[in-house]
Amino acid sequence: MMKTALRTLALAGVTAAVLTGCATPPAPPRSAGELVATGRVAVKLPSENNLANFTWRDDGKQAQLDLSSPLGNTVAELTFDGREAHLRDQAGKETVAATPDDLLKDRTGWELPVGGLRYWIQGKPDPASPAAVRDTEQGRHIEQAGWEIDTSGHVDAGAFGKLPKRIEATRATVTVTIVVTDWQWQ
Digit-coded pLDDT (tens) for 118-142: 899 999 999 989 999 999 999 999 9
CA 16 to chain centroid, in Å, comes to 25
- pLDDT of 16 reads 33
Between the alpha carbon of residue 143 and those of residues 91, 110, 131, 163, 180, the distances in Å are: 36, 21, 6, 18, 21
3-state secondary structure at position 8: helix
Strands (E), the chain: 35-44, 49-58, 63-68, 74-80, 85-89, 94-97, 131-135, 139-144, 147-152, 155-156, 162-163, 166-171, 174-185
C-alpha of 152 from chain center: 16
pLDDT (0 to 100) of residue 34: 87
Q: Quick count: other Cβ atoms within 10 Å of Cβ 87?
A: 21
What Cα–Cα distance (Å) separates residue 74 from each residue in 62, 66, 110? Answer: 20, 8, 15
Q: Would you write out the chain's pLDDT as a tens digit for each of its 186 residues?
A: 433 322 323 333 333 333 334 444 445 555 557 899 999 999 998 888 989 999 999 998 999 999 999 898 988 899 998 889 999 988 999 999 988 988 878 887 777 788 888 899 999 999 989 999 999 999 999 999 999 999 999 998 888 888 999 999 999 999 999 999 999 986
Phi-psi region at 14: left, alpha or beta (left = phi > 0; alpha = psi -120 to 50): alpha
**Residue 115 CA: distances (Å) to CA of 22, 79, 122:** 27, 11, 13
**Domain of residue 29, CATH code:** 2.50.20.10
- pLDDT per position as a tens digit, 33-54: 789 999 999 999 888 898 999 9
Length of the chain, in residues: 186
Task: Quickly list H helices, the chain.
Answer: 2-22, 100-108, 114-120
| pLDDT at residue number 30 | 52
pTM score: 0.78
Give CA separation, 150 vs 36, 43, 58, 69, 178, in Å.
20, 15, 21, 25, 10
Domain count, the chain: 1
Q: Which domain holds residue 11?
A: 2-185
